[in-house]
Amino acid sequence: MATDKWEKEKHALKKVQIHFAFQQEIIASIRHDAADDNINPSDIVRKIVGLPYTKIQRARIGLSFNEHDLNYLSNRYSLEEVDEKEIKRRVMEEINLHYHKQNRNG
């Protein structure tokens, strides 16, 4: 079983990452198409050129917060101390309200 894990790791190390610089409008179109198809932007490129790709299993957005960000959000949400779990809940609530309101008005 451990051997299988290392074989997968060796296989992953053999991959080559290539970065592409497209015009801004093409990048915007790729991102839009990716969102519509529920796949990553890089997978849109794979799809277009005929390579295999996978659908996103759990759509998530990851954010990195530094100490200043966490302190700002604690103050914004009137928290007495930095509480990452509560900050996460409040950010999710605020974003959901923003888009629900926008969808009703738009």
Residue at 8 is within a domain: no
Render each residue's pLDDT in the chain as its tens digit; 106 residues: 566 767 766 666 777 888 889 999 999 999 999 999 999 999 999 999 999 998 888 878 889 999 999 999 999 999 999 999 999 999 999 999 998 987 777 6
Residues 76 and 54 in one domain: no
Does some domain include residue 25?
yes
Q: What DSSP letter does each residue of 41-104 carry, written as one string?
A: HHHHHHHHTT------SS--------HHHHHHHHHHTT-SS--HHHHHHHHHHHHHHHHHHHHH
Is 25 in the same domain as 53? yes
Considering the domain architecture, whether residues 55 and 77 belong to the same structural domain is answered as no
Q: Are residues 25 and 43 in the same domain?
A: yes
The verdict on 53 and 74 lying in the same domain is no
**Residue 99 lies inside a defined structural domain of this protein:** yes
pTM above 0.85, yes or no: no
Query: Residue 39 burial (CB < 10 Å; 0-12/13-18/19+)?
Result: middle
- Whether 73 and 44 map to the same domain: the answer is no
Read off the tokens for 82: 């930095």
Under a CB-based contact definition with an 8 Å cutoff, are residues 87 and 77 in contact?
Answer: yes
If phi over 0 gives left and psi between -120 and 50 gives alpha, with beta otherwise, what is residue 21?
beta
Provide the domain limits for residue 45.
Answer: 16-59
Domain count, the chain: 2
